[in-house]
Amino acid sequence: MATDPSHRILFEPLRIGPKTTKNRFYQVPHCNGMGHRWPRTMAEMRGIKAEGGWGVVCTEECSVHPTSDLTPATLMRLWDDSDLPVHELMVNKVHEHGALAGIQLVHNGQSVSNYFSRIPSLAPSPAPTETGNSTQARGMDKQDIRELRRWFREAALRSRRAGYDIIYVYAAHGIMTLLYQFLLQRFNQRTDEYGGSLENRLRLVREVLEDTRDAVGHDCAVAFRFAVDELMGPEGMHKAEAEDIVGTLAELPDLWDVNVADWGNDSLPSRFGAEGAQEKYVQFVKSLTTKPVVGVGRFTSPDTMAGQITRGVLDLIGAARPSIADPFLPQKIKEGRSDEIRECIGCNMCTSGDYVAYPMRCTQNPTMGEEWRRGWHPERIARAATSDSVLVVGGGPSGLEAALAAANRGYDVTLAEASHALGGRVLGETALAPLRQWKRLSDHREYMLSKQTNARLFTQSRLDADQILEMGAAHVAIATGAVWRTDFTGIHHRFPVPVSAPELIISPEDIMSGTMPGGRVMIFDDDHYYLASSLAEHLAAAGIDVLLVTPAAEVAGWTHFTLEYEHIQTRLRELDVDMVCHHGIGGISNGHVRLECVYTGASTPVEVDAVIPVTARNSRAPLFDELMTRQAEWADHGIRTVTRIGDCLVPGTLAMAIHSGHEYARNLDAPDPGDIPFRRENDFDTSRIWPEFTS
């Protein structure tokens, strides 16, 4: 298939300083939880994106000096020449597929505490660090500023030696970068030529840009990443100051990479913003510079992308999350296969890797982070070694992914779903207004399966063990999911809570199926992720009086890692949801719940009309258990394996469920991988990893 004529503009080459990108698809710098600790995992992930058609592929943050030590986060470092092998590995992978490689150099200033290096943190003015552990950053003197400029210059020179094409000066994402801290009055209270007026606060940024151009600008492009608005009004970066900054520096960088701050506004969860949400903030930039401009907006629609360019908003389509969900997004558009794009759902599971310090994962793309570890490619999968048939029982996220991956391998696949539609828990959760964008998970897989001639999908087809045996599929995957517990057993309550009025209890599934209770409804959240707050928002938006109770110190605490937390708190308060933390459930009787303080045990009665526990789930495994008791009958019916996958194996996140289904299909008829089913990067001696560098 050919490129849609209306999308051809996306494949025009574009000059960026001394470099030319082959198209307008630009993977902006993004964190991934791999960095210097898992360099081959990181490099292969970036290389796959270049293979998928991205014209520019950038690193994540790359620290220029031990005074900017991001531990425990795992990002890139370029402190001295010993870090070069990691960078050369990535650059070579990117160049192998004709893409340009970019590096985002950073000093994080007072946003880090330097846990590894144990060197005092630096800041424009003396201030506590942002890590909240009683450490403070030292206000920089003139010698510190000269040293900082030298560190950036030396890092730029090393970047060129490593082979990078685009070298970033980075002043974005709010408090996260020292250069941005110098721009902001709330962090910069200096009274010398680096503080006070905007011209003075901009001085260090200008100097670092000029130093970088002087050092490498004749053969590398210099990019400036700048957050034009913090959405805080006059207390933060705002449009008036941003316009002055862009106007002043307009022609100094070769590329403007613009966004909003902080990270939670830049990588806005789909619950709180649509595709292209940043346009209204960044659209002024092109009117003030002749240099190319790149920006982001969770772009997955080629029509939207082309529109950004033709309307003069951007010159390059920037992406982090969409490039994670589908590394081959550009190639699919080029080949006229836009309908096959695995669209980002904006859940931000990817960002959690940076916060929790593990290799990044993606709910939509189960191969993300597994490219080197397991050899999983997002578009290629080994053909089946046999002509066996596969039966998947359950059409939720795990079952759909298992069926699709098995069909792609060439197996003859049958999927049987008991309910009226495919999707499983995705159907229920996306019935809640905040999560509707997540329907892309099941829609994509159902659509891709519909194109397979070797896959048959059946709804309203509840199977029992006898029927499964009679069907005689060689491989049976049980993907019957899980159900939320209603006895309050979870992290806090390890035993069921006394309930003398069971009629008050409503399950999350009841709400997701359309039940709308009246009166005052209490949600008890011992899950701490997205569902309880989504239920609260869904009910409160319908005018229901909602009380959200949790034994934790805060509501939806795990969503800090997915950049949803502050948005959730704001939304719940706007909807007048009452929130009570540090309390468990002492008991439930007619008309009220007895709350108990988790510290003192003090009891508080609360009148309610309904209670929704969001605590833990039980796998729906009776069908699997029965089949296992009848294992002696398998051979007579041609069955070789029966395997439970996804939430039926163990309840978890949607990302875990989809990964489980994909792993099942990849491993069909494969040799036993042993106790450790992936490669490890535990040889830290670079002379053995890259002997050509040290020889």
Q: What is the mean pLDDT of residues 583-612?
A: 95
Q: What is the mean pLDDT of residues 202-231?
A: 97
Pairing mode, if any, of strands 455-458 and 412-416?
A: parallel
pLDDT above 60 for 686: no
C-alpha R_g of the chain: 27
Task: Give yes or no for a contact between 638 and 470, defined as CB atoms under 8 angstroms apart.
Answer: no
Q: What is the mean pLDDT of residues 217-229?
A: 97
Task: Give yes or no for a contact between 351 and 263, defined as CB atoms under 8 angstroms apart.
Answer: yes
Q: What is the largest CA-CA distance in the chain?
A: 86
Q: What is the C-alpha separation between 18 and 160, in angstroms, rounded?
A: 13
In the structure encoding, which two tokens stand for residue 361, read together? 């994962």
- Please report where in the chains the tokens 């939880």 appear, as a residue: 33
Q: What is the mean pLDDT of residues 196-223?
A: 97
**Residue 95: which of 11, 162, 37 has the closest Cα?**
162
Q: In the prediction, which pLDDT does 174 show? A: 83
Instruction: Write out pLDDT tens, residues 480-503.
Output: 999 999 999 999 999 999 999 899
**Residue 476: which of 643, 232, 288, 309 has the closest Cα?**
643
Q: In the prediction, which pLDDT does 683 show? A: 64
pLDDT over 70 percentage in the chain: 98
Parse the chain into domains and list their residue ranges. Answer: 5-356, 389-483+620-667, 486-615
Angle between helices 397-409 and 654-667 (to 10 degrees): 30
Give the CATH number of domain 389-483+620-667; options: 3.40.50.620, 3.20.20.70, 3.40.50.720, 3.40.50.2300.
3.40.50.720
Q: In the prediction, which pLDDT does 694 show? A: 44
Q: In the prediction, which pLDDT does 552 show? A: 97
Q: In the prediction, which pLDDT does 492 show? A: 96
C-beta atoms surrounding 180 within 10 Å: 28
pLDDT above 70 for 231: yes
- Please state the CATH superfamily assignment of the domain spanning residues 486-615 in this structure: FAD/NAD(P)-binding domain (3.50.50.60)
Q: What is the C-alpha separation between 282 and 269, in angstroms, rounded?
A: 18
pTM over 0.75: yes
Q: What is the C-alpha separation between 647 and 478, in angstroms, rounded?
A: 10
**Residue 17: which of 248, 243, 251 has the closest Cα?**
251
pLDDT level of residue 693 (50, 70, 90 thresholds): very low
Which of 120-134, 269-283, 298-312, 654-668 is the least confident region?
Answer: 120-134
pLDDT above 60 for 692: no
Query: What amino acid is encoded at 183 in this protein?
Result: L
Q: In the prediction, which pLDDT does 671 show? A: 87
Q: In the prediction, which pLDDT does 695 show? A: 39
Instruction: Write out pLDDT tens, residues 360-399.
Output: 999 999 999 999 999 999 999 999 988 899 999 999 999 9
Query: What amino acid is encoded at 681 in this protein?
Result: E
- Please report where in the chains the tokens 């959760």 appear, as a residue: 429
Q: What is the C-alpha separation between 522 and 588, in angstroms, rounded?
A: 11
Task: Give yes or no for a contact between 75 and 42, defined as CB atoms under 8 angstroms apart.
Answer: no
Give the CATH number of domain 5-356; options: 3.40.50.1370, 3.20.20.140, 3.40.50.9100, 3.20.20.70.
3.20.20.70
Q: What is the C-alpha separation between 179 and 156, in angstroms, rounded?
A: 16
φ and ψ at residue 617, rounded to 5 degrees: -125, 155
pLDDT over 90 percentage in the chain: 90
Task: Give yes or no for a contact between 38 and 86, defined as CB atoms under 8 angstroms apart.
Answer: no
Q: In the prediction, which pLDDT does 256 show? A: 98
Catalytic residues: 31, 170, 173, 266
Q: What is the mean pLDDT of residues 290-314?
A: 97
Residues 6+ apart with CB under 8 A from 514: 431
Instruction: Write out pLDDT tens, residues 414-442.
Output: 999 999 999 999 999 999 999 999 999 99
CB half-sphere exposure, 14, CA atoms < 13 A? 25
Q: In the prediction, which pLDDT does 133 show? A: 80
Q: What is the mean pLDDT of residues 74-86?
A: 95
Q: What is the mean pLDDT of residues 195-204?
A: 97
Q: What is the C-alpha separation between 56 and 359, in angstroms, rounded?
A: 22
Secondary structure of the chain: what % helix, strand, coil (to 5)? 35, 20, 45
Q: What is the mean pLDDT of residues 138-151?
A: 97
Q: In the prediction, which pLDDT does 387 show? A: 85
Pairing mode, if any, of strands 603-607 and 592-597?
A: antiparallel
Which one has a higher pLDDT value, 616 or 684? 616
Q: What is the pLDDT of the chain when averaged over all its residues?
A: 95
